[in-house]
Every structure is written in structure tokens, then in C-alpha cells.
Amino acid sequence: MVYFDNNATTPLGQNALQVYRLALEHDWSNPSSPYRSASRVRAKLEQAREELASILGFHKDQLIFTSGATEANNSVFAHVASNEKKEGQCLLSPFEHPSIIEPAKYWFKDRLTYMPTDDSGRVDLDRTEQLLNTENISLVSLMAANNETGVIQPWQELAKLCLNQGIFFHCDATQWIGKLDSSAFSLCTSFSASAHKFSGPKGLGWLACKEPIQLQLGGQQERESRGGTENYPAIASMLVALKDAIKDLDGLIQGAEWRDQFEQSIINAIPETIVLGKESPRLWNTSMILLPKFNNLSWVGKLDKRGISVSTGSACSAGNVKNTSLVFSMGLSSNEAGRLVRVSSYSDQNESDWQNLALAFTDVFKELKDEASHSSVISL
């Protein structure tokens, strides 16, 4: 199988797997228990927290291990809405992940404002700054990079604006961490990430937050911020996965050349194909393609039979792509939404894989055209 759906999840890295296995075997004690084996796990847990916090530019006491970015994102909106001294607006981009948009709607209801955007799927920073200067804003949330198009948002510039005005700024960094340099997240009030997006284990992530925050009650763990027994084996595995990604970052970024060559091959072979966000800065691994004909599930199915895995978009919106925030924010029609295919690589994919992917798309297009010509059913 050639796997091109890494924005949904990545396979566990070999070093991360080895560390995970060893920790499950030797460091399985409950870190909160009073005996020596548990104390050793507690010490290793805190060492991992300190090392990760140092990488991210936060103090170790500001780093909370979570089940992933979804939990972390939900916690931020609940925290700000519950603790704001005066009711203010929540400002976020219209193409945030559902784990941002849904809690924003729940906690802020009619106090929710969307940032202006341009046609390429990027926030308009100048017009957004005008909102900061004229409206009462309590919380601003902007993803670092879009999970569907890969378009990089001006989160650093917006974080600085919020910092200067004392506004809480949250960044969903799920697609950024492990793909690009992460040294600037100290500009944020808080940011979230998930380990399985950079070859770490599923069910683990973090919230880095400069304010004291209560995620859940019922235990003394995580400095009383989040009750529940910490999963040290997964934490150790996640740290190794991140360190491996950082070490390989320069090589990974060069993959943008392979992605660009793939896109040009598709445009040449399949006329009227459009690459969403092509003119904007993007993650090096992501390509969101609007194909001129045939439903995206037909494309996915045909490619799957050839041993190639791609996606129609966000895994959290699979089967409901026509209602995703991306479709609304970029002004796509219902018909166009049904012809979107997302391709996303990571460390296991090489130049040959990208070339073979382009050839497979070309072959599938010919096959779908041939089937349509022999069918009485009209294909869209």
C-alpha cells in the first residue's frame, strides 16, 4: 500500500514504537502511586514534560498532556468563556477544525465572529486587525495550517497583535508540529497538538497554556489540571517521534518539490484540474485537488484498488465533505465539493511514490471516462 492520507493520521515511527514497547514492558506503574517503581515512572514523566516544554518554548508547568488536540481545543473555549470578566466576542477563521468551531458555537453562541479571508483560503490579516481594534474580543483562535488544503495561516503575526492587546490567542497547531519549525509557538497564549500527526501514538497530545486552566476534575494529576492516570509509555513514544521529526525536518521540507511536480503532472494530464491554495504558502506535504469530473469517492475507490490511499478531505468530516468549513469559506459549489481529493505525505513517501501517484491519477481518469462513455447514467 502507498499511503497518502498522512494529514488524517501517520503510522507509528520505528523509534517511537520501540520506545513505546519498552515503556509498556518496564514503565507501566501508575506515576501517582507511592512505591519506588511508580516514583521512577513519575520522574521519567516529568523529565519528558520538561524536555518537550523546552522544545516548544514553554515552561514545563504550562504543558498539560491530553488525549489529543480535540480535548485541548475544547478546554480552551470552556476556560475563556467561563472566566472572562466581561462578555466579549470570539474571533476565529471560518475554516477551523470542527474541534474549534463546535465548542466556539457552544460557548460563545451569538458572540462568535469569523475572520475575513481571501480567495485562496487564507485569513486577511489587515481586515482582521481592524476587528481587533474596533470590537470587544475575548478570544482569538487561528489554526497554524489548514488540514485540508495545507494553506499556512498568518498565525504568528496575529499572535503578536493579540499579545500586544492582551487578548487570549489560541492556535490549533495539529498539522504544523512535526512538519515545520515550531520555535515560534511561545507567541501564543495557548496551542494544541496531537502525537499521531507526526508518527507518534494515537490518543495523546498536549495543551501548552500560559494561564492556569482546568481541563477536567476528579484527580490530582497534571498539577490538578487534568485528572486521570498519565500514559507515560505513550508520552515517551511521542517525545521520540517529535525529536525524530525535528531532526529530519530539512529533508522532509524538500518533499515540496515532489508535491509540486505531482500537481503539474496532474494539471497537464487532466485538463481543468484546480489545486486549492496553490498560490498561497502551504505545508510541503499537502495537495487538495478539485478534479473536473467524477465524484471523489469514485476516485478514492479506484485508487484504493491500485493500492493507493488518498482522502476526500478531513477525516473528521468524512462522508459530509459538502458541509465542511473549507467548502463554505472558499465559495465552492455542492458539485465542486463532491470532486475534491486530498493527498498528504509524510516521512515514508519518496519522489517515486509521488510520480507513481500522478500516473495512477491519470490511469483512473481514463478508466472513469471509459466507464462513463458506456453508461447511461450521467456522471458529475
pLDDT reading at 40 higher than 60: yes
- Range in 74-78, 81-85, 170-174 with the lowest mean pLDDT: 81-85
The answer as to whether 83 is a domain residue is yes
Please give the pLDDT value at position 137.
95
Domain identity same for 47 and 36: yes
Which DSSP symbol is given to 207?
E
Structural domain ending residue among the three candidates 206, 225, 247: 247
- Cell 489554526 sits on residue: 143
- Range in 82-96, 187-201, 264-278 with the lowest mean pLDDT: 82-96
Distance CA 372, CA 298 (A): 12
Domain identity same for 203 and 224: yes
Comparing C-alpha atoms, which of 325, 369, 347 is closest to residue 151?
Answer: 325
The answer to whether 306 and 262 are in contact (CB under 8 A) is: no
Domain carrying residue 282: 2-8+250-373
Please give the pLDDT value at position 152.
97
Which residues touch 290 (CB under 8 Å, ≥6 apart)?
A: 273, 274, 275, 276, 332, 336, 339, 340
Q: Is residue 49 very low, low, confident or very high in pLDDT (cuts 50, 70, 90)?
A: very high
The answer as to whether 209 is a domain residue is yes
Domain identity same for 41 and 136: yes
Burial class (CB in 10 A: 0-12, 13-18, 19+), 260: middle
Please give the pLDDT value at position 375.
65
Residue 155 has φ and ψ, to the nearest 5°, of -70, -35
Domain identity same for 273 and 217: no
Domain identity same for 140 and 259: no
Domain identity same for 99 and 225: yes
The answer as to whether 34 is a domain residue is yes
Structural domain ending residue among the three candidates 247, 282, 312: 247
Domain identity same for 177 and 284: no
Q: What is the pLDDT of residues 353-380, one digit of tens each?
A: 999 999 999 999 999 999 988 765 554 4
Structural domain ending residue among the three candidates 224, 247, 270: 247
The answer as to whether 263 is a domain residue is yes
The answer as to whether 378 is a domain residue is no
Number of neighbours of residue 299 by Cβ within 10 angstroms: 23
Q: In 124-157, which positions are buried (b, 16+ CB within 10 angstroms) versus exposed (e)?
A: ebeebeebbeeeebbbbbbbbbbbbbbbbbbbee
Active site residues: 316
Q: Is residue 328 very low, low, confident or very high in pLDDT (cuts 50, 70, 90)?
A: low
The answer as to whether 210 is a domain residue is yes
Count of domains for the chain = 2
The answer as to whether 380 is a domain residue is no
Domain identity same for 107 and 217: yes
Q: What is the pLDDT of residues 199-236, one digit of tens each?
A: 999 999 999 999 999 888 887 777 878 878 899 999 99
Q: Is residue 32 very low, low, confident or very high in pLDDT (cuts 50, 70, 90)?
A: confident
Domain identity same for 77 and 205: yes
Please give the pLDDT value at position 223.
80
Domain identity same for 218 and 348: no
The answer as to whether 80 is a domain residue is yes
Task: Let me know how long the chain is.
Answer: 380
Helix axes 351-373, 255-269, angle to 10 degrees: 20
Distance CA 285, CA 5 (A): 10
Distance CA 318, CA 322 (A): 10
pTM higher than the cut 0.75: yes
Domain identity same for 213 and 343: no
CATH (domain of 174):
3.40.640.10
Domain identity same for 234 and 285: no
Please give the pLDDT value at position 258.
98
- Of residues 86 and 81, more confidence is placed in 81
CATH (domain of 306):
3.90.1150.10
